[in-house]
Chains A and B, each alone.
Chain A
Amino acid sequence: MILQEQGARLSGSVETKRPCASFGFTAIIRFVKKTVVIAELEARKLLHDPTELFTRAVQPTLWLLVFGQVFTRMRAIPTGDMRYIDFMAPGILAQCVLFVAIFYGIAVIWERDLGIVQKLLASPTPRTALVLGKALAAGVRCLTLGFFIYALCALLDVKLKWHPFALAGVLLVLLISAALFSTLSLIIACIVKSRERFMGIGQMITMPLFFTSNAIYPITIMPNWLKVLSHINPLTYQVDALRAMMLAGGASQYGLISDFGILIAATTLLVILGGWLYPRVAT
């Protein structure tokens, strides 16, 4: 068999090699392409084995069906004119995103143990594209769960907003916040480097993030110290944006521009930090 093809490079032709474009239009296109390839890789895995999506749907179902319905009857939490189940639905969607995304770090440690991360790092793929690609994949996973939660909310008679712009807005918030929390998780993985330590820390941050946000109770009833925590918690802004765009008659407390601004800024910062830390996981 003749393996020598046209264009096959032989060693020694070093002089003819073009250097990598590290800035400019070509670099941006390359970055976007690679990001999409990494996301595609994750999406293909999900297509081969979607069982995870079903198991992940159990928890939000319990929250909405049991917790939501009981507290709606009790009227224990003051949510103004809004029924409690309507109030908490965006919070549960946000929680779903958080729990899916926070799992990403452990997947990276797992892939490191398999040698996959090392091979990706040795390919000409920008580190930030590896991170953002994973983040985007987390978004895709969360979108599928988003569809499920919308269906469940519709069944429970949650007053949803069906305007296409509102739906597009919710989709965008899901993608951004999945990217945010999955990158946070990846950064933790790059620092702790072992599965055991990650499990502990993952537990340690998910519940506080959830309970110090406005996901299942309004900020107005929180004590002052909790209000401060809630204001620096990105989940609060995610829930705030979701509440405005998901519910008929929903309104944003902080304004959608600040919600999006804060989420996008935090994600960008984390992706850059993650790109810088990513090689550490392999060493």
Chain B
Amino acid sequence: MSDIVIETTSLTRCFGALTAVNSLTIQVKAGEVFGLLGPNGAGKSTLIKMLITLLPPTSGKARVCGFDIARASCDVRRFIGYVPQLLSADGSLTGYENLLVFAKLYDIPRSERAERIRIALNLMGLADAADKLVRTYSGGMIRRLEIAQSTLHHPSILFLDEPTVGLDPVARKAVWELIERLRTDFGTTIFLTTHFMEEADSMCNRVAIMHLGNVVNVGAPADLKASLGDENATLDDVFVHYAGNSLDSGGTFRDTSRTRRTAQRLG
């Protein structure tokens, strides 16, 4: 089905004795904004790394844009964009050069390169700073440049690992407007991780909550909130309910979850 752009089947990744992602099965539809939530160490980054073909799975399968991540990794990479959590634009190059190098790496034809870069710079509000070294940019500018780098080739799916972390509210809002625009104008599917629940609530069509390598619940934010049975519940409550207290050790998750569920019922 071409409507599903990401499909994993029992996807598992172990690091020695640790199972970072445990037999995970999810589906992401074309054109949706899919948020991956979970405490640190839940396996979010490992999952993204497998989907963008940086890390081979230990077992299980995944198809991204219709291609198998293990057997056709090069094909997968042509149709996705990736913005890592770290500010990864090259500080010793100018904004324009950062875009030019990626335009070449993503096989954008020479005749289209200049125009695509110009459009991207305008869209990101970086046209005036294009010829300045990136190390002189602000955090928000670098983030916008990175999104431009990763979307020059009009990817079918854009993977963003905590895109708004460390940004001030204005820059954060600008990033979200860009993401929304990519989705409406290009139909780009957005797959992201975030720690900001209010963002996930307002921006994501569906979210998956991960804990200890498992997806503990998937659904539209409204449905997840409704599932708690409290009409005033926020996504924060949902997160705490399913992911437990991240300060607890891994083994006590089930207990915490059970306790909270009980408390909820009693409440």
- Chain A residues packing against B (C-beta within 8 Å): 1-5, 7-15, 17, 19-20, 22, 30, 33-34, 37, 40-41, 44-45, 48-49, 113-116, 118-126, 279, 282-283
Contact = CB atoms under 8 A, between A and B. Distances in A.
Contacts of B119: 3, 5
Contact of B93 (A8, A13, A44): A44
B102 A121 contact: no
Contacts of A8: 154, 186
B157 interface: yes
Interface in B139-182: 146, 149-150, 154, 156-157, 159, 181
Given A3-B123, A44-B93, 7 more contacts: A9-B186, A12-B31, A13-B2, A20-B74, A124-B106, A279-B54, A279-B55
B250 to A, nearest CB: 21
Interface residues of B, number: 56
22 contacts: A1-B123, A3-B123, A4-B185, A8-B154, A10-B186, A11-B189, A12-B30, A12-B31, A14-B66, A14-B156, A15-B2, A17-B65, A19-B75, A20-B78, A45-B92, A48-B92, A115-B88, A116-B88, A116-B90, A119-B146, A126-B74, A282-B54
A15 B75 CA distance: 12
B137 interface: no
B87 A118 contact: no
A119 B123 CA distance: 21
Nearest to A27: B74
Contacts, number: 133
B49 interface: yes
B135 to A, nearest CB: 10
Contacts of B75: 17, 19-20
A12 B84 contact: no
Q: Which 9 pairs from chain A and chain B are nearest by CB?
A: A115-B88, A115-B86, A14-B66, A115-B84, A11-B30, A3-B185, A122-B82, A20-B74, A10-B187
A48 B93 contact: yes
Interface string B53-93: 11100000000011000001011011110111111101111
